[in-house]
Amino acid sequence: MVSYFGFIYPSKGFREFIEAAAQLRDAGLDASYLIVGGAVRGQEFFQTVVGRSLQLADLTRDYESEANALVEDLGMTEVVRFIPFTQDTANLYQASDVVVAPSQGPELGRPVIEAAASGVPVVASGSRTGGGVVVPGETGVLVEDYTAETLARAVAELLRDEERRQALGRAARKHAEANFDPSRNARRIESIYRRILPTRERIPILYVHHRPQLGGAPSSLAQLIANLDERFEPHVFCPEGPAAELFAAAGATVHTGDVSIFAHAWDSPYEGLRWLVLGREVAALPPHLRQLERLMREHRFPLVHLNDSPLIAAAWIAHRHGAKVVWHLRSALAGEGRDRRSRAIAALMERWGDAAIAIDRDVAERFPIRLPLTIVHNSVSPAASPNGDNRASLGLPGDRVAIGFAGFVRRQKGWPELVSAAELLVDEGAPAHFVIMGGGVRPPEYFRTIRGRALAAANLLTDEESAIKELVADKGLDRHFSFLPFTAETGEIYSALDIVTFPNQGVGLGRPVLEAATYGKPVVASGSGDGAGVLLPGKTGLLLEDASPPNIAAALRLLIEDPDLRARLGGAASEHARRRFDPAQNARAVEDVYDSLLGLDRARAEARRSRETVRAAAAL
């Protein structure tokens, strides 16, 4: 079997190959011949009006038909077979005894390399020395000219000498392993890139966050940034405000600007008059796109990490610039992720995203996406003083059990139910004091502005911070409640608490559950069927199936009356937090996602850092 691979084109020597085959037949050599490939334009093209016109104008020719005609004219149709282009040529090479590559130009084509990889000797032209591709007389036969007579003579010598063919084939295979290995050659090309391109000491990562206020999402992102490996250079694009200051303090380069979102989380879907809020996001969209576009052009971020699912527009911009996109799933989609809007959002997330990170299983299950997904719990810094004695400085009574509620004061988080449960406990004479740490998404002052009053009148926004205080006052519970403002330094407050509550009326166990565990405080929480790995029911806290006021009161009563149970649950929670919510450990898990998307080798990076550290120490 003698074979020709590649384009049927004059400069590739297809005519000389066919004529050499005819001469070998006339010399009495019994062989079959393969022509594997085709013309740049197939025979079908020349049956079209455009093809016939170009052929008449002598601008192109039907070389495939010419090859078939030549085979027929020479009476070779019984021994020459045409096989169309195929990606799987390995079997065809291995079935060949000799491969002929009669190039008429100054080059040795790819068939020479592929033949060598299959251990098949070649008869080739196009180089005087072999150019490192063919070792003349050792891995193949290099002829000085590509005439049919020269090719026929060289092929005949190989067909008559099986021992030489096999020796050339073995040497060709060995030469291919040493010189044509794809992985080794990729490394060689990479070394050239490294020599000529400026080396980035650190890889810039852009985080996009959508709210200016403090809260669980910015706190968790700040923890990640603060513990990110020095290989990465964190940048954050977000609105100006306290969250931006928090990111800067964590070590990020902060770029402030407009951020437009499309919210469809379980606790804030667009419905009824809330659709009017979409107008605000539409108004923010043009400047958001312009600012993010400019930022992507300036820094060429290879990866963009979106700090929640509503950031659809940001994902589109990042994808357009060729960046890998990571979605951080922090809030479950509305309708259990099964309604039409959720499916549309999921489709866009899959189209423009490359991977997803979810804060727990409950949230992950409500996103109908097929992207690679990793569960990484939110992180909390280890407590410096989990049993701090600082109640007096916070104005808290020292003779009652302190029960905390932390985060945004929103009805979906269960503050009305908590106040009603507090009323039940106070009426029973339980020694309880309730601490509300946080505030409304917008402060009461906002609702005294014309815009705030208008939005409140349209029932688009509610002054929930004032609402909870009014409800507490209406129930005569003022002396049993303390209200403390948002702070980035929550440790002092958690240290003063005995119990933490999170009576979520929807899906998810929020950041207060993690923070309570870190400070060794038991929790009474709802929002999950099994705790989602965040809370271990009966071991680190009490998980409620129904966070109604009687159920909340019953769970709190159990803990108020049993200090030993509080201590046992709190101790287990602290140990669980050390294992699952450690910022450095979780940062490594996120970095594994980055490394996978960017094709980085963590072990190699760590080894390089170790060498640099040793060199720096030696220099000192």
Give the pLDDT confidence score for residue 29 in this predicted structure: 93
Please name the amino acid found at residue 243. A
Give the pLDDT confidence score for residue 76 in this predicted structure: 95
Give the pLDDT confidence score for residue 615 in this predicted structure: 47
Q: Distance (Å, rounded) from C-alpha 174 to C-alpha 171?
A: 5
Give the pLDDT confidence score for residue 616 in this predicted structure: 46
Closest C-alpha to 84, from 31, 42, 32, 33 = 42
Tens digits of per-residue pLDDT, 308-335?
888 999 999 999 999 999 999 988 887 7
Closest C-alpha to 148, from 301, 23, 289 = 23
Domain residues of the chain, as ranges? 2-188, 205-375, 391-580
CB atoms closer than 10 angstroms to residue 162 = 10
Closest C-alpha to 331, from 412, 276, 214, 273 = 412
Give the max Cα distance, the chain. 115
CATH 3.30.450.20 assigned to 391-580: no
The CATH code that applies to domain 2-188 is 3.40.50.2000
Does residue 102 contact residue 18 with C-beta atoms inside 8 Å? no
Looking at residue 199, the DSSP 8-state letter turns out to be P
Closest C-alpha to 359, from 584, 514, 490 = 514
Does residue 412 contact residue 464 with C-beta atoms inside 8 Å? no
- The pair of three-digit structure tokens given for residue 382, joined into one six-digit string: 């280890």
Tens digits of per-residue pLDDT, 513-562?
988 999 999 999 998 888 888 899 999 999 999 999 999 999 999 999 99
Give the pLDDT confidence score for residue 430 in this predicted structure: 96
Give the pLDDT confidence score for residue 383 in this predicted structure: 59
Residue 368's Cβ-count burial label (10 Å; 0-12, 13-18, 19+) is: middle
Domains 2-188 and 391-580 share a fold: yes
Q: Distance (Å, rounded) from C-alpha 161 to C-alpha 514?
A: 78
Give the pLDDT confidence score for residue 307 in this predicted structure: 92
Q: Distance (Å, rounded) from C-alpha 242 to C-alpha 214?
A: 6
Does residue 260 contact residue 209 with C-beta atoms inside 8 Å? no
Give the pLDDT confidence score for residue 200 in this predicted structure: 62
The CATH code that applies to domain 205-375 is 3.40.50.2000
Q: Any residues with CB less than 8 A from the CB of 460 and at least 6 apart, and which?
A: 273, 274, 276, 277
Secondary structure (3-state) at 433: strand
Residue 392: CA count within 13 A, CB half-sphere: 1
Residues of the chain with pLDDT under 50: 266, 386, 611-612, 614-616, 619-620
Give the pLDDT confidence score for residue 266 in this predicted structure: 47
Give the pLDDT confidence score for residue 601 in this predicted structure: 73
Q: Distance (Å, rounded) from C-alpha 209 to C-alpha 286?
A: 17
- The pair of three-digit structure tokens given for residue 404, joined into one six-digit string: 């905390």
Give the pLDDT confidence score for residue 619 in this predicted structure: 46
CB atoms closer than 10 angstroms to residue 294 = 12
